[in-house]
Chain A
Amino acid sequence: MRALTLWAACFVASGLWAQEATKSPVTDKTEKTDKTDAATESSAPESRPLPDDPRIRELASFPFELVGDPGQGTEPASADVVGLTDLTPDEYVPEVFQYRRPDRQIHESGLSGEHRHPALTEFRVIDRVVTPGSYVRVVARVSPAFQEGKAFPAEFWSQDYGRAAVVYVNFKPSKKDKTLYLGRGQVGRHHPGGRYNVGSTMVPDEHGHKKAYSHDFNPKMREPDGTPSYFVVTDNPEMDLTPPELAGIQVAEKRVGIGETVHVEMTATDNLSGPTQAQAVFVSQEGRSVRADLIGSATSPGKFFGAFSIPEWYDGGRWEIQKLVIYDGAGNQALLFAPTTPLLKAVAFEVEQDPAKVDRTPPRLLALEISMKEAPAGESVPIAVLAEDDRSGVDKVYVSFQSPNGADLIRVELRSENPPLNRPSLVPQPNVFRGTLAIKPWNERGTYRVSRVNLADRANNYRNLNPVRDESVAGITVTFLADPETKEPSARAQRERSESRSERGGGAPRN
């Protein structure tokens, strides 16, 4: 599931939280609340009922009664079926073990550290009816409370148009009640009217754990009638679900050398909101690819220009366009691929490259050093790697460690940096990379093993060493001992302590 990546991207792109609510006939009634800094609220706003308007009722209707419920069917794979909060450590199975057969699942009671995922205990739409261009607010509650609650998005899909029309609602924790999350999402000016149903969400915590929820399996995300939580967008005569169209694209140069600029010109049209952004990807015969952002001309709407070059160590020969993406102002996307788009089939250029300069070989690992075999849980363990690359040079080095039972993965990025000594002998050592491994209080204690070494050169050749295949990285371990003074309590004890604090203080830190 890469859904989180998509959500995260949308969250960053939207930046909605700080924006002012747009006035509208419906939301004007809520102006005072909308302008409140929701992040400082300590209690959840009340949900607004559906107005007694026949047209709104029509838009809000679900097409049929859903049958079945999460309890119907076969035995679930684990007891944590809907993010329950009352499971004992002997019942709770962290997500990473849920797919295993029942007798091989590792329960919380068998793990040191803390591995319980956040539970979504409330999910409620506040603004039942919104107009295009305005905001919808949603309340969520997450248990237990965290010191640093993480923002998360939830997606609402148009009932009538599916994934063609989505509204992302971005949640942030309240500063006063850390179990309370207030979400806000903007309905686009060109979004179609109708009912928008929640799809799913993924709630992360400060420990890096995350838990996905959907209305199908979590009753908290459903209405009392069993249908998904929803809001209604009023009829929108300016709705736009039509993606832009490609009118033409050409590459100015037929032949270029490595590093020389390739110029691209593209023309697009759109029915309503206008084309706004575009990106092309070109691929070589060997399969290497280069992305080129195409920048729109403010003076010639619909015209886009790109200028890029083929990097130093890449292969020459024929480079062809593989795909073109064009967006319009309403967020519609034309995703065009050369094999099925006639206008793209002849878009290509030749690259002159000395074959001897092409770097196709990834770096080699020469040595991996871990200075300590054992360390107290709070200590950092130095790691060093010696790697070499015959042409472009070593660029990136990562060493990953897996915890004793596989509940945690810690990836360390190593860097090639010289200590700040003023000595003639201190020449750069581009083949030596150093970093440190440290575990967090919520990670498992015990023996961590090297689970992966990843190397990259400057030509983007990658080497992926995995101990299940590569003996050079097999059997390398380091053991983290529990600090005798702050001996890690069981996960259950930690949680009970946290919950006790939470009851007293309304959301105290968990660790």
Chain B
Amino acid sequence: MNRREFMKAAAAAAGASTALPSRLTAFSTQATLPQSPGFKTKHCVAIIYGNGCRKKDTVENPELAPHMARMMKEGTVFTEDFGETANLHGYMYTEMLTGRETVSEHSHYPTWTEYVRKVAGGPATDYWMLQGSSYYRSWVFDRKHWSAHPDYGIEFGANSITMNKVFFDGQSRSPHELVLANVEKALGHKDRERADVEGWMADVLSRKVYVPASTKTPLVDREVPIGDGQCFELAKSILKEFKPRLITIQMLALDDAHADGGFWDYDTDFEQYLQHVAATDELIGNLWSFIQKDPYLRETTSLVLRPECGRDDEVNVFGQLHHSQGNYYAHHVWTLGVGPDFKKGALFAEKVNRRDMCPTLVYLLTGVDAARFATGSVRTQMFKDEYKLPPYQQRDRLGRPV
């Protein structure tokens, strides 16, 4: 049986080419979610504390993360945000981006970028994904912003920029070459938009906008931590230049806590992880301050952040802090949402789930419960009372209400 015959047979068996799997399926989310509730958010920065960060080192540690503490007062915080998986990055960030449990490292199901772009449309430059570096092992491609789903895919993806492939001193390639190598044509830019991206890259390179601001606790002077810092710096530039609908930032250097396990580097350890938490806390705080100082962005921009997972309860004898199944702080993290549509100073200790992030962001940016394959729920409790949203519905890994 060749590929075409197989797919035909598979489609016949499943009933339709895009039919859902029979069991791991999306129950409809809150059926009564109002469409177009009138959210003020037009732009969103979604920050993934990628590779894992503990709440005890951030929202539970205002000395280490004072900017987080400041933003908590301005927004909504969930303190018991659960994820069933705590040990496999490829599966965890994919689950977060898609809102459903996953067993692939390039998503088979749509990411939040794809959902939003399919509903809200807009130019390709409305959607961005930033990361400091590529992963290694099997993750040498930066393909997190689009899925392999036939109804979505790269045409609904984002401009994905990896800092250490593009922005560094001595970059010898031209902006045109860099865009060609790093921004997929299939994203569907118009010629003018690609030229705009090239122009922006040229400006960033010539003025060295990519250099992160100095922070009270300095960034660790290695590529991955610096790359994370660059993402926050460039998010300001992108907001200013393109006023995009969605920027997703995935931090990566938090895995320094694995220490000399070799990921990222043998020089790293728990203390460098703490240093990175402190430095990026200030950079995220700066980004939020930048938004608040702009009269337009202040009224229209939200920032949502959540770690992809936490990290272990204990540091081991080698100064390593891994992220392992069964550890409370590895499974339970926090979410912060701050912006014009979220409650201020609200703190929720009820159990919520990593799979909620995708449907919540999609609803925030489209006003439609459009994440049709997600098995998480829209976190309605974080939205202001004036929107009169129904109660949050926690769901299990198979999407069943609990």
Contacts and interface: CB of A to CB of B under 8 A. Distances in A.
Interface residues of A, number: 87
Contact of B22 (A160, A226, A466): A160
Contacts, number: 266
A283 B328 CA distance: 11
Contact of B267 (A73, A217, A451): A451
Contact of A101 (B20, B142, B164, B272): B164
Given A335-B326, A451-B266, A163 B20 contact: no
A506 B313 CA distance: 48
B223 interface: yes
Contacts of B85: 163
Interface of B: 2-3, 6-7, 9-11, 13-14, 17-24, 80, 82, 84-85, 87-91, 101-106, 108, 133-143, 146, 148-150, 153-154, 160, 162, 164-165, 168, 170, 181-184, 186, 223-224, 259-260, 262-267, 269-272, 313-319, 322-326, 328, 331-332, 349, 351, 397-398
A255 B326 CA distance: 28
B148 A68 contact: yes
Contact of B317 (A81, A162, A199, A398): A398
Nearest to A341: B351
Contacts of A1: 87-89, 137, 263
Contacts of A192: 23
B24 A161 contact: yes
Contacts of B269: 452, 464, 466
Contact of A70 (B102, B141, B267, B316): B141
Contact of A3 (B14, B19, B88, B272): B88
A463 to B, nearest CB: 9
A309 interface: no
Contacts of A213: 138
Interface of B is mostly: loop
Interface in A172-228: 192, 194, 197, 199-200, 211-218, 223-226, 228
Contacts of A5: 87, 322, 324
Interface stretch (A55-63, A130-138, A421-429): A55-63
B108 A101 contact: no
A110 interface: no
B104 A159 contact: no
Contacts of A78: 136, 140
B24 A162 contact: yes
Q: Which of B186, B316, B318, B398 has the most CB of A within 10 A?
A: B318
Contact of B397 (A3, A163, A226, A411): A163
A80 B154 CA distance: 23
A29 interface: no
A102 interface: yes
A228 B82 CA distance: 28
B104 A452 contact: no
A100 interface: yes
7 closest pairs, A vs B, by CB? Answer: A464-B319, A77-B134, A98-B136, A160-B23, A157-B103, A101-B164, A61-B13
A483 B108 CA distance: 52
A66 B108 contact: yes
Contacts of A98: 134, 136-137, 140
Q: Which of A62, A63, A211, A469 has the most CB of B within 10 A?
A: A63
A72 to B, nearest CB: 7
Nearest to A197: B103
A8 interface: no
Contacts of B315: 462, 464
A162 B102 contact: yes
B331 A337 contact: yes
Nearest to B351: A340
B143 A73 contact: yes
Contact of B105 (A101, A214, A223): A214
A225 B7 contact: yes
A104 interface: yes
A95 B270 contact: no
Contacts of B398: 161-162, 164
A1 B267 CA distance: 17
Nearest to B396: A164
B165 A65 contact: no
Contact of B3 (A215, A224, A228): A224
Interface string A93-126: 0011011111110000000000000000000000
Contacts of B10: 60-63, 65, 225
Q: Which of B82, B149, B260 has the most CB of A within 10 A?
A: B260
Contacts of A216: 104-106, 138
A275 to B, nearest CB: 17
A104 B223 contact: yes
Q: Which of B136, B181, B322 has the most CB of A within 10 A?
A: B136
Nearest to B19: A63
11 contacts: A65-B17, A66-B148, A67-B150, A74-B143, A98-B140, A162-B102, A217-B105, A340-B351, A462-B316, A464-B259, A468-B267
Contacts of B331: 335, 337
A77 B141 CA distance: 6
Given A164-B397, A454-B317, A468-B267, A212 B22 contact: no
